[in-house]
Structure 1
Amino acid sequence: MAARWQQTVAPLLPTAAGEAAWRYVLGAYAGPDRHYHALAHLATMFAVLDAHPEKASDAAVLELAVWFHDAVYDSLRHDNEARSAEAALQYLQGSRLSAEQLARLDYLIRRTQHHARTEPNDGLDTALLLDADLWILGAEPAQYAAYARQVRQEYNLVPKLLYRPGRAKVLRHLLEAPQLYRTRYAQQQRDAAARRNLAAELQAWENGRGLDDLSG
């Protein structure tokens, strides 16, 4: 992961600034409260983008969006994406990115707040980012169950009485989306399995047993 960061950032930032940004990113994703939204999640996203037959129109901006999109993650707040975007722009001050690229980076990170929504300014890079972010939803049932439990751990301060309806609302919102995935590749690879997993978790919460009913 360090080599990948260096490959992306070295051409864009002076050495000291790049190292400061790396320390920030590494510390953010290695926090003790990170169970799913950690470096392993980023590694999966990068693997998806590497394997994807469609490639970003601006690879550097997309890579940076992956690195920073969950840099701020507080389960008790609703502005994590905005704060993550602000952190990205702060650490990339003085970079060789143009004003247009920085604006696009800000947009991409903020878009990860609403995966099911379609916006007029969306394009291929948005589709690639959002599809990679949701890739886990179409995993094998045992892997999906592990993901669901990790997310629950990140919300351990929220009692089950409150977590259950909130999580159920998120699951229904995703299931009601006309398209979970935006690229043809992701639709073919993950959509059907993702909908099965989401429906199974929703049923588990609705029957009162919660994650105990998920396989794995």
Structure 2
Amino acid sequence: MTSPVDRFVAAARSAGATADRSDLAAAGEYLLSRWSEPQRHYHTVAHLTAVLDVVDRFAGLAPHPDRVRLAAWMHDAVYDPRALGDANERDSAEFAAGLLATLGVPDEAITEVARLVNLTAGHATDDKDPDGELLCDADLAILASDDEAYQAYVTAIRREYAHVPDEDFQAGRARVLTALLELPSIYRLPPLREAWEAKARANLERELKS
């Protein structure tokens, strides 16, 4: 089985990184340390791995899957549950640009990875953006999980926001769920929409009612 670090090295190489393997591996290890920070309960290495697995499974639907893979690694590299608005996504995009530059990734690819990371703030993509659609669909794959996994996700999110009083958390969570349900489609790529849309909407509606 390929290690997480090897997956990062392969994605970076395919995206044009010129750094030697030891530097790429060190960057991968550093990213894993960020994904393992104590404030994380859902946005962990397990979530990263799940997103990467979806990207790998549907890589043929995207023109630049390795940029999507790098964006998956970077999309929650900065994660502070107390941050306001889209600060985590913006900071993660800036972090991605800086780190990838040190690894010799070409400027065009860096710009695109940062753009993809920023998309995960609202999961709204433009038409004809299959790379963005794949990343956003992979990031939201948990919403279509079975009842047990979905409840574990909800519990983990609440733990990340343990500093927020129940009433405030419920109001904020309701806004998030409503925004997702108001999207024309939660999933953009046709195979994923066909497989996951109905289950995701059922999960979200059940949580909202509760």
The TM-score with structure 2 as length reference comes to 0.90
CA contact (8 A) 1:17 1:91 kept: no
Q: Tell me the secondary structure at the aligned position of residue 127 of structure 1.
A: helix
Tell me whether 1:196 sits opposite 2:196 in the alignment: no
Name structure 1 gaps, 5 residues minimum. Answer: 205-216
After TM superposition, the structure 1 = structure 2 runs for residues 18-33 of structure 1, keeping only pairs within 5 Å, are 18-33=24-39
| 2:100 counterpart residue number | 92
Please tell me whether residue 69 in structure 1 is matched to residue 75 in structure 2: yes
Q: Is structure 2 residue 50 aligned with structure 1 residue 44?
A: yes
> Hey, what does 1:159 align to over in structure 2?
165
The alignment status of 1:106 with 2:110, answered yes or no, reads no
Change (3 A) 1:81 1:50: same
Q: CA deviation at 1:47?
A: 1.6
- Looking at structure 2, the residues matched to 173 and 95 of structure 1 have their Cα atoms a distance apart, in angstroms, of 37
TM-superposed CA distance for 1:53, in Å, is 6.8
Per-residue deviation, 1:96: 4.0
What TM-score, normalized to structure 1? 0.87
Name the structure 1 match of 2:65. 59
Per-residue CA deviation, residues 169-202 of structure 1 (Å, 9 max, x unaligned), is 0001111111100001111111000000000000
Of all paired residues, the percent bearing the same amino acid is: 36
The whole-number CA distance in structure 2 between the counterparts of 1:22 and 1:125 is 22
Cα distance in 2, alignment partners of residues 119 and 55 from structure 1: 16
Q: Does 1:7 align with 2:10?
A: yes
Structure 2, unaligned stretches of length 5 or more? none
In the aligned structure 1, how far is the partner of 2:176 from the partner of 2:72? 22
Shift of residue 141 of structure 1? 1.1
How much does 1:98 deviate? 2.3
Aligned residue for 1:92, secondary structure, equals helix
Instruction: Tell me the alpha carbon deviations over residues 71-123 of structure 1, each in whole angstroms, 9 at most, x when there is no partner.
Output: 011111130001001111111114443222111111000000011x3436x61
One-letter amino acid matched to 1:190: W
Whether contact under 8 Å (1:53, 1:185) holds in the other structure is no
Tell me how many residue pairs correspond in the alignment.
Answer: 202
Instruction: Return the offset for 1:16.
Output: 4.7
Residue number in structure 1 paired with 2:181: 175
